[in-house]
Amino acid sequence: MLAGRCSSCEHQQVDGALNIVFFVVHTSWVAFNCVGWIWRRTRPWQLASVSLTALSWFGLGVWYGWGYCPFTDWHWEVRARLGHDDPPSYIQLLIRELTGIDLDPAWADALTVTTLLAAGLLSIVSHVRDRRAA
């Protein structure tokens, strides 16, 4: 170990990097869920992504609480080690970080579920239309 360096400093650097990685990956997943149905090539992947998200929320949610997301769980662990006190919802945090708006938890949950349902419905409609056209 180099003089002046401590292992807790290194852990904080790793957690800081993980925090950024989680923001990028999780936000990309959310964005892809929302818009992946638009392009024919990405529709199968988007449907799988939305399905996995719904399976997590409503499947794993039976044991871990409705709306459970492993990304959020792991991200919150990292952020807690960095000293953050986060809202219950990743979407709440994302909206706060991007806009400065501190959204009420009920509104964040309603927005999140409505968006997932809309994206899932658009994906299914697009798939059905594609198969009929083929």
pLDDT tens per residue, range 58-99: 999 999 999 999 999 999 999 999 999 999 999 999 999 999
Between CA 58 and CA 72 the distance in angstroms is: 15
Helix (H) / strand (E) element for 68: namely: none
Is 54 within the bounds of a domain? yes
Between CA 81 and CA 11 the distance in angstroms is: 9
pTM score: 0.87
List the one residue out of 77, 93, 85 whose CA is nearest residue 15.
77
Between CA 110 and CA 89 the distance in angstroms is: 11
Q: What angle do CA 1, 83, 15 make, to 5 degrees?
A: 45
What is the residue range of 37's domain? Answer: 10-133
For 36-53, write each residue's pLDDT tens digit: 999 999 999 999 999 999
Is 107 within the bounds of a domain? yes
Please state the φ and ψ torsions of residue 3, each to the nearest 5 degrees: -65, 140
List the one residue out of 117, 111, 28 whose CA is nearest residue 71.
28
Domain count of the chain? Answer: 1
Residue 24 has pLDDT above 60, yes or no: yes
Is 103 within the bounds of a domain? yes
Is 1 within the bounds of a domain? no
What confidence category does residue 100 fall into, taking pLDDT thresholds of 50, 70 and 90?
very high
Instruction: Give the range among 5-14, 20-29, 73-82, 109-118 with minimum mean pLDDT.
Output: 5-14
- The token duo for 84 is 């953050």
Is 95 within the bounds of a domain? yes
Is 123 within the bounds of a domain? yes
Is 4 within the bounds of a domain? no
